[in-house]
């Protein structure tokens, strides 16, 4: 999910942008419930990009606080519904307090198997590819000759999404039709679904409509059926 349009949703109602983010959290909750109901195994939410650090400080602070409080508030729901919670991104940029809250939630929910809910926080696709390349190079220092034999799956292991399947479907709300530095490497064969609906209005019915559209897609992965 590329959750877009919170600011516009609020502005349309003559309210501050952050009000849209608060309503956006309700959509996160609705979509998580719908994912569990529909048997979706992985739900990934692009909550904050590396570029989003450039937003006004007050908005960044509110978003971070919202993320921390939502996470803590949902603990019982996660446990009751078998939801494994993960946060992926450049976590070194987060406050120690938020990192500790994430750590605790990840540990508490690590045994849950029904749905993996991944929040991409301080994440960007180019950053991910770059950090993977650096870590791979460091691992192979002194044995560079072995690098020629590496394949795609060897590189996959260095991305922060290691072990997570590539997204089948990428949904973007609010009418924008771009990837905005989300899962660049991992979206090579993802299906895309764009809707004009703003994120705070994207709830159960809208998610089910996206799943239905996806079910009608013909995925060939560059091959002939
Ligand atoms: C995009 O709308 C939305 C964001 C950058 C933030 C999304 C975050 C949340 C909904 C909170 C997430 C909470 C949890 C628990 C994961 P925008 O501000 O870019 O809207 P605009 O394009 O209309 O300005």
The pTM of this model reads 0.96
Please answer whether residues 112 and 78 qualify as being in contact, where contact means their C-beta atoms are separated by less than 8 angstroms: yes
Provide mean pLDDT across the span 145-162: 97
Distance 5 CA to ligand 1 centre (A): 7
Task: Work out the percent of the chain whose per-residue pLDDT is above 70.
Answer: 100
Provide mean pLDDT across the span 6-19: 97
Rg over CA atoms, the chain: 18
Provide mean pLDDT across the span 174-181: 98
Pairing of strands 191-194, 169-172: parallel
Residue 127 has pLDDT above 90, yes or no: yes
What gap in Å lies between CA 167 and CA 187, rounded to an integer?
6
Encode pLDDT of 203-220 as tens digits.
999 999 999 999 999 999
Angle between the N-to-C axes of helices 96-109 and 57-73, in degrees from 0 to 180, rounded to the nearest 10: 30
Encode pLDDT of 75-88 as tens digits.
999 999 999 999 99
Q: Is 103 a catalytic residue?
A: no
Place 145 in a pLDDT band, splitting at 50, 70 and 90.
very high
What gap in Å lies between CA 133 and CA 138, rounded to an integer?
9
Encode pLDDT of 38-88 as tens digits.
999 999 999 999 999 999 999 999 999 999 999 989 999 999 999 999 999
Atom of ligand 1 nearest to the CA of 46: 7
Q: In sequence order, what are the residues at sequence separation of 6 or more whose Cβ sits closer than 8 angstroms to the Cβ of residue 50?
A: 89, 90, 93, 122, 123, 124, 127, 181
Residue 183 has pLDDT above 90, yes or no: yes
Mean pLDDT of the chain: 97
Give the CA angle between residues 109, 26, 1 to the nearest 5°. 70
Catalytic residue, candidates 52, 81, 90, 112: 52
Task: Work out the percent of the chain whose per-residue pLDDT is above 90.
Answer: 99
Distance 6 CA to ligand 1 centre (A): 5
Q: Is 52 a catalytic residue?
A: yes
3-state secondary structure of 174: coil
Q: What is the pLDDT of residue 225?
A: 80
Which residue, among 62, 88, 82, has the nearest Cα to 182 in the 3D structure?
Answer: 88
């Amino acid at each position: 999910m590329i959750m877009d349009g919170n600011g516009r949703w609020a502005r349309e109602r003559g309210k501050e942008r952050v009000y849209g983010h608060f309503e956006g959290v309700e959509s996160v909750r609705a979509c998580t419930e719908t994912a569990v109901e529909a048997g979706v195994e992985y739900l990934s939410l692009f909550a904050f990009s590396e570029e989003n650090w450039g937003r006004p400080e007050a908005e960044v602070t509110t978003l971070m606080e919202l993320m921390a409080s939502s996470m803590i508030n949902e603990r019982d729901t996660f446990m009751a519904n078998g939801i494994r919670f993960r946060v992926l991104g450049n976590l070194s940029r987060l406050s120690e307090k938020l990192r500790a809250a994430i750590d605790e939630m990840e540990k508490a929910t690590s045994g849950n198997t029904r749905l993996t809910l991944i929040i991409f926080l301080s994440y960007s696709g180019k950053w991910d590819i770059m950090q993977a390349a650096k870590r791979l190079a460091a691992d192979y220092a002194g044995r560079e000759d072995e690098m020629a034999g590496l394949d795609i799956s060897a590189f996959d292991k260095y991305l922060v999404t290691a072990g997570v399947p590539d997204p089948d479907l990428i949904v973007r709300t609010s009418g924008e039709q771009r990837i905005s530095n989300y899962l660049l490497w991992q979206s090579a064969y993802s299906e895309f679904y764009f809707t004009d609906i703003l994120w705070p209005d994207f709830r159960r019915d809208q998610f089910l409509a996206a799943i239905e559209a996806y079910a009608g897609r013909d995925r060939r992965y560059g091959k002939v059926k």
